[in-house]
Structure 1
Amino acid sequence: MKKILAMMMISALAVSSLAACGGNSSTTTTTDAAADTTTAGTTAAAGTTAAGTTATAATTGDFDASQPIEVFSREDGSGTRGAFIELVGVETKDDAGNKTDNTTVEAVITNSTSVMMTSVAGSEYAIGYVSMGSMNDTLKALTIDGAVATAENVANGTYKIARPFNIVTGASLSDVAQDFVNYIMSDDGQAIIEDNHYIKVDSTGAFTSNGASGKIVVAGSSSVSPVMEKLAEAYMAVNTGADIEIQTSDSTTGVTSAIDGICDIGMASRDLKDTETEKGVTGTTIAMDGIAVVVNNDNPLDEMTAEQVRQIFTGEVTTWDEIIK
């Protein structure tokens, strides 16, 4: 059954580090929004989960675990959704390789990281997922399969819900766009990525600008755009002749814009598909990022298994008391 939810975003109120991108159409769409949030301290206790494992829960207080779980997901084209549904098993594949996104039709669809964050922060019984680098104290990130969502755990492989941040470029770049790419991959650029709580990749060494000037258009993933804004700001301080415009949408739009020549550099929070690279673009990984499974701060739950996450997002588990015992 389809339900419609529209929340208009008060841009000045949006959390400063908000970003994300992924699959199947669901019933409700939430657009740029703002929501008041509260944080509540809780006391830890142990409980048995629906999947038969032990999860850490806190004293419930006023939290009514019999209430339905309000599932928030991302829009079609979001790289974050695409990576999330694959990594936690919401997406299935048949013998012919055809993929099916089994996200529950009851999920509320949000169109950016910022909307996902304000939506979950504003709904006591909500669950969603966001770029780990965008996390702040308005939400609670759950421990998954015993691993906390941290950059260190993504890097060492214990936190497995992770994906690449890619830039997408065509066969040729302007001198100034190439200079910016060189900056991103340099020691300086990778230091900015690490400073913003993402996982850096191997750098190319010290940066020396070619001194080119002009405008660079960067477009795509709302998960990548927050760190891209930091990179652009730092680069323009080094090369004052450069002017960078960042257009935030989703990963698929970023790839398509690079293919069509609408932008110089696309942003994608997922790997490129063969059907995309066949059209003459190349993906370059600039960082790795974890996807945090998030709940409202008033939720007493602290951890889940990946299987429980899958069950919630496919609609097999629909109330919190199936998880919090």
Structure 2
Amino acid sequence: MRMKKFIAVLSMVSMFTIAATGCTGNASEDKSADATADTKAEQTEENVSSDWDSSNDITIVSREDGSGTRGAFIELFGIEEKNGDEKIDMTTQEAQITNSTSVMMTTVAGDEYAIGYISLGSLDDSVKALKIDGAKATAENVKSGDYKVSRPFNIATKEEMDNEAAQDFVNFIMSEEGQKVIEDNHYIAVDDVKPFEGTNPSGKVVVGGSSSISPVMEKLIEAYKAINPKVEIELQATDSTTGMTSTIDGSYDIGMASRELKDTELSEGLKATVIATDGIAVIVNKNSTVDELSSEQIKSIYTGEALAWDEVIE
């Protein structure tokens, strides 16, 4: 509204100036004045839009049900309540739901007042990661224990898997060569691994599940195929729960879960292997003036207790 009034006043001043000086100005002078006014208006509008105002409502962005990242996030920040053996997700109904890491990042990058969370290994400069309880979201801080918002990356196979190519690929992931790929992509590698000794099989392998694991899995597939191009590996990015159910029913040879496997999944004959440790980065828009929050402040936002930014920051 202030912008419209400014433009209206500016237009009236221009008209008054033209009337006072008569019609002696030529067409080029009129165009020059209009261009100057337009430039000033654009600059003012840009300055207004760049002022981050903490009185604005928080745009809360979360992941879909079945996401391993969501499951780990609500557990780590206490955004769940126990009702007997059942755990109830207390994420506010006002949260916008995204179905992948990339959509989460795009949503937060496009909204100055948004907050979300992603795999630390997927973090790029399109968004800003917050300090949590005073610790920066880095792989080094996850490894040292200073940054406590972390979870395991698991792959799951059937106990009696008979796909030689799939087993060879799993062996590669858990080798020195595979874990170097993990480390090079900013995740915490597994200790005490040995050089890869492949069997050079051929065949097809279907890997699917967590979209948080998918980026590093792509790198692992690329590195493995450089060693053994005879194996075709198909990657399907879905979510952790789909990764486990599809491995149980045989649609996937290898499932991906960015959380611990549930007892019900293990009872269906799945075997879990931790391939890495990953942090969960809490992200905001790059224009936000917020740089740090506590675990309790995150909880108050995602349970809907805090509605505006000035309710959690000074």
TM-score surpassing 0.5? yes
Please give the secondary structure, in 2, of the residue aligned with 1:72.
strand
Q: Match for 1:75 among 64, 79, 87? A: 64
User: Going by fraction, where is helix more abundant, 1 or 2?
Assistant: 2
Retained in 2: the 8 A contact 1:186–1:203? no
**1:28 alignment partner in structure 2:** none
Retained in 2: the 8 A contact 1:190–1:203? no
Which whole-Å CA distance do the structure 2 matches of 1:144 and 1:324 have between them? 13
Which whole-Å CA distance do the structure 2 matches of 1:231 and 1:202 have between them? 17
**2:300 alignment partner in structure 1:** 311
Do residues 195 (structure 1) and 184 (structure 2) align? yes
**2:255 alignment partner in structure 1:** 266
**2:242 alignment partner in structure 1:** 253
Q: Match for 1:120 among 102, 108, 125? A: 108
> Normalising by structure 2, what TM-score?
0.83
Do residues 219 (structure 1) and 208 (structure 2) align? yes
Q: Match for 2:125 among 134, 137, 141? A: 137
Do residues 158 (structure 1) and 146 (structure 2) align? yes
Which whole-Å CA distance do the structure 1 matches of 2:297 and 2:216 have between them? 31
Which digits, 9 at most, give the CA deviation of each residue in 1:30-60, with x for residues without a partner?
xxxxxxxxxxxxxxxxxxxxxxxxxxxxxx9
Please give the secondary structure, in 1, of the residue aligned with 2:135.
coil
Deviation at 1:203, TM superposition (A): 4.3
Listed as ranges, the gaps of 5+ residues in structure 1 are 1-59
Which whole-Å CA distance do the structure 2 matches of 1:89 and 1:113 have between them? 21
Q: Match for 1:105 among 66, 72, 93? A: 93
> Normalising by structure 1, what TM-score?
0.80
Identity %: 62
Which whole-Å CA distance do the structure 1 matches of 2:113 and 2:229 have between them? 48
Deviation at 1:173, TM superposition (A): 3.5
Which whole-Å CA distance do the structure 2 matches of 1:92 and 1:305 have between them? 19
Deviation at 1:240, TM superposition (A): 1.4
Amino acid at match of 1:118: T
Which whole-Å CA distance do the structure 2 matches of 1:160 and 1:259 have between them? 31
**Moved runs in structure 1, 4+ residues, more than 2 A?**
none
Q: Match for 2:198 among 189, 202, 209? A: 209
Retained in 2: the 8 A contact 1:173–1:264? no
Amino acid at match of 2:139: A
Q: Match for 2:79 among 90, 94, 114? A: 90
Do residues 180 (structure 1) and 169 (structure 2) align? yes
Higher mean C-alpha displacement, 213-222 vs 202-211? 202-211
Please give the secondary structure, in 1, of the residue aligned with 2:154.
strand
Which whole-Å CA distance do the structure 1 matches of 2:118 and 2:253 have between them? 26
Which digits, 9 at most, give the CA deviation of each residue in 1:95-143, with x for residues without a partner?
x232111101100000000000000000000000000000000100000
Which digits, 9 at most, give the CA deviation of each residue in 1:286-311, with x for residues without a partner?
00000000000000011000000000
Give the total of aligned pairs. 265
Please give the secondary structure, in 1, of the residue aligned with 2:243.
helix
Q: Match for 2:158 among 166, 170, 174? A: 170
Listed as ranges, the gaps of 5+ residues in structure 2 are 1-48
Retained in 2: the 8 A contact 1:128–1:294? yes
Higher-Rg member (1/2) = 2
